[in-house]
Structure 1
Amino acid sequence: MARIKPQTLLLQSKKKKGPSRVSIPTIVLYCAVLGLVMLSMVATYRHWSRRSMEQTSAGLKFEDVGATANTKKYDLPGYAIMNTSKGNIVVELFKDGAPEIVDKFLDLCQKGHFKGMPFHHVIKHYVIQGGESKEFVTTEDWTSKGKLRGQLVTSPKHEAFMLGTSKNKQDSKSFELFITTAPIPDLNDKLIVFGRVIKGEDVVQEIEEVDTDERFQPKSPIGITNVVLKHEI
């Protein structure tokens, strides 16, 4: 067997070199690039995730506001029970026809504003009036208009047993209450109707039968003892 010379072995070993080693700077560069790519992906994910959540929250907030407004309007009491010394008068409130007046009336009811309110003017076949002020029109106007009411065209809003308040007393310190006992179209310019009596018409008629003096003021105290609000009757 022929012997291989040392020079030949050296040449063969040089031809069979193993894989070349990667330098440290190259490894550091690769790691840096990979880190930047990862950071970019994380930032992109967070951006789109936050945007999606904000859009969802905005949509929910809008829906909640609308739902709250609708719920508030729906939950407003639609009826008031006036307790008087003669009995109870049940009134249906015109929430759509006179919303601002109804809101004020409900607010005053919750504050107990009408507890102990007297009916200080009672005119038979015309109107009963309660509130702080004891003047609405002069006595002569009341009687003359009462005589003329049959000659005027009536309005459905101002039929008998309607609940109204004075257009001239719209402040936070006073609130006049009027319950008509006959059609009163001649008071269209003075009254805002915001409800109607649906039960207790006999109580209204009993109140208008009380004895009064020459100024239509009841000789014996009579008025509202309390008001109870109801959603349904």
Structure 2
Amino acid sequence: MARIKPQALLQQTKKKKGPSRVSVPTILLYALLLFVMLFFLFATYRHWSRRSLVHLQDTVSVEEGHSVLADPKKSAIPRYAVIQTTKGSLSVELFKEGSPEVVDEFIESCKKGHFKGMQFNRVIKNFVIQGGDVERSGATEDWTARGKHYSQLDTSLKHEAFMLGTSKTRHDGGGFDLIITTAPIPDLNQKINIFGRVIKGEDIVQEIEEVDTDELYRPKTRIEITEVTLKQNS
């Protein structure tokens, strides 16, 4: 029997102890299994993520629905009014937060058509224009008698020009009149309940202010309100 040389024996030992090589099909199989597992995990994550998002959106929608149902009038309150006159159109922002009761009364009067055909019966240059009952002229005449030129003017919002208000004496049987200031008025709070401001159509206010009037500040040509439209947006 032939003897194996030590060097050849060592090489044979290394070959026996060395790891067997992994076949290509086996590698592909393991890669496929890993891909399937990762895809399954990703699909599961997307499913639960979408379910959580839908649940959150439904919760928010329900809460918003409850808030609207709890106070349906809140979302329906008009914030603006468009006053159509024979001279042109005025857009007015309503101060619901500052004068809630007056704004509510104004809105109800609009819905009843109270202002349709209302005539501007007093036009005092650099002061106010007023629409309402021509027989109730005492308040405006009183303002005029006290003078319209003051050395100091209050600069607060309610004392600016183009503010919309109604006379504080309107409940004495005269209904809801409309007053638009054409200049700052220092004692405005004593005479008028301010509930809005003209934001478009200031030129129309100034055009009305320039009309010819008689000695009682009544316009010589008829100027009236033809329609008032309530709006949510300006």
When normalised by structure 1's length, the TM-score is 0.67
Match of 2:141 in 1: 139
Q: What is the CA–CA distance in structure 1 between the aligned matches of 2:229 and 2:92, rounded to whole Å?
A: 10
The Cα shift of 1:168 comes to 1.6
Counterpart position of 2:75: 74
Letter in 2 for 1:147: H
RMSD over aligned Cα atoms = 2.2
SS at match of 2:130: strand
Matching residue of 1:103: 104
Which runs of 5 or more structure 2 residues have no equivalent in the other structure? 1-61
| d(CA) in 1 for partners of 2:136, 2:172 | 16
Secondary structure at the aligned position of 2:147 is classed as helix
Aligned to 1:89: 90
C-alpha distance in structure 1 between counterparts of 2:110 and 2:198, whole Å:
17
Q: What per-residue deviation string (whole Å, max 9, x for no partner) do you get for residues 51-94 of structure 1?
A: xxxxxxxxx9xx95x63353311211111000001100000001
Determine helix, strand or coil for the equivalent of 1:137.
Answer: helix
8 Å contact 2:154–2:185 — kept in the other structure?
no
Q: Secondary structure at the match of 1:83?
A: strand
- Farther-moved stretch of structure 1 (194-203 vs 176-185): 176-185
Aligned-pair identity in percent equals 56
Is the 1:158–1:193 contact (alpha carbons within 8 Å) kept by the matching residues of 2?
Answer: no
Structure 1 gaps, min length 5: 1-59
Tell me how far apart the structure 1 counterparts of residues 140 and 109 of structure 2 sit (CA, whole Å): 27
Contact 1:121 1:134 survives alignment (8 Å): no
Divergent runs of 4+, >4 A: none
Q: Does 1:189 align with 2:183?
A: no
Structure index of larger Rg: 1
Aligned residues: 170
Report the Cα offset of residue 171 of structure 1.
Answer: 6.5
What amino acid is aligned across from residue 208 of structure 2 in structure 1?
I
